[in-house]
Amino acid sequence: MVKINVNGQQYELNVDPSTPLLWVLRDNLNLTGTKYGCGISQCGACTVHMNGQAVRSCSIPVSQVEQFKIVTIEGLSEDASHPVQKAWIEEDVPQCGYCQSGQIMTAVTLLENNANPSDEEIDRAMTNICRCGTYQRIRRAIHKVAAKGGE
């Protein structure tokens, strides 16, 4: 049995402890907002928060997150009302949308650690891949959240 805490809920799961957190979220908990992109921590589509830090869930065995609080895109807000989600809508970021859960989760921790990131700081933090090329709009959305003081 593996015990994990996801979006404020405690779960006891009968899974192989070496299973990556990503697949437990998707296949066992049906939290499909977190996406599989590469499986090797390259693309960031699987990004979730582990005690408030952005991590790539495809490369973390579920047994290693038992002590942490996990938050997925579904747990970020009740109704897409997180300032980053609102900015994503206002700046019309998504195209195909597949990578955007991971982009948003990464941006949220960037802004929590740095309320007003420079372009260079955005470059360093936002290493997620978007094949549709929405980067310019992601940058704008992050600046927008900063300008509004995170509201």
Partner 1 sequence: MSIDKTRREFLKKSVSVSTGLVIAFHIPGMIPATQAKVRPFEPFDLNQGEINAWLAIEPDDTITIRVAQAEMGQGVFTALPMIVAEELEADWRTVRAEYASANRTIREEGAYQRMGTGGSRAVRHSRPYLQMAGAEAREKLIKAAAEKWLVDKSECYADYGKIHHKPSGRSVSYGALANAAAKISVSGVRIKTPEEFKLLGLPKKRLDTPPKVDGSAVFSIDVRRPNMVYAAVVHCPVQGGTLRSYRFNAVRNMPGVLQGIKLKSGIAIVAKTYWQAKTAVDRLPVQWNIGDEGKTYSDTFRNEYSAALANEGTIVLERGDTKEALESSEKIIQSDYFVPYLAHACMEPLNCTVSVEKSRVDIWAGMQNPESVLNAVAKEAGVAHENIHVHNCFLGGGFGRRSSNDFVIEATKIAKKVGQPVQMIWSREEDMKAGAYRPMAAMRFKAGFDLDKQLTAYTNHSVTHSILKDLGADVSSGIDRTSVEGLANMPYAIPRKKITHTIKNTHITSWWWRSVGSSQNAFAMECFMDEMATEAKMDPLKYRKKLLAHRKDLLDVLDELEEKSSWSKPLPRGHARGMAIHECFGTIVAQAVEVSVDKYGQAKVHKVVSVVDCGNLVNPLIAEMQIESGIIYGISAALYGKITIEKGRVQEDNFDTYQMVRMQETPVMETHWLLSGGNKWGGIGEPGLPCVAPAIVNALYRITGRRIRSLPVGDYYLQVS
Give the residue, chosen from 46, 108, 122, 145, that forms a contact with partner 1 under the rule CB under 8 A: 122
Please tell me the distance from the alpha carbon of residue 66 to that of residue 10, in angstroms, as a whole number.
10
Give the residue, chosen from 70, 108, 130, 146, that forms a contact with partner 1 under the rule CB under 8 A: 130
DSSP labels for 86-148?
Answer: HHHHHTT--SS-TTHHHHHHHHHHHHHH-SS--HHHHHHH-----TT--HHHHHHHHHHHHHT
Cβ–Cβ under 8 Å, residues 107 and 117: no
Please tell me the distance from the alpha carbon of residue 39 to that of residue 150, in angstroms, as a whole number.
32
Candidate ranges 49-57, 63-71, 121-129, 143-151; the one touching partner 1 (CB under 8 A):
121-129
Smallest distance, partner 1 to C-beta of residue 94, A: 4
Binding residues among 20-59 for partner 1 as defined by CB under 8 A = 20, 23, 26-40, 42-43, 45
Please report, as ranges, the residues that interact with partner 1 according to CB under 8 A.
7, 9-16, 19-20, 23, 26-40, 42-43, 45, 72-74, 76-80, 85, 88-89, 92-101, 104, 122-124, 126-139
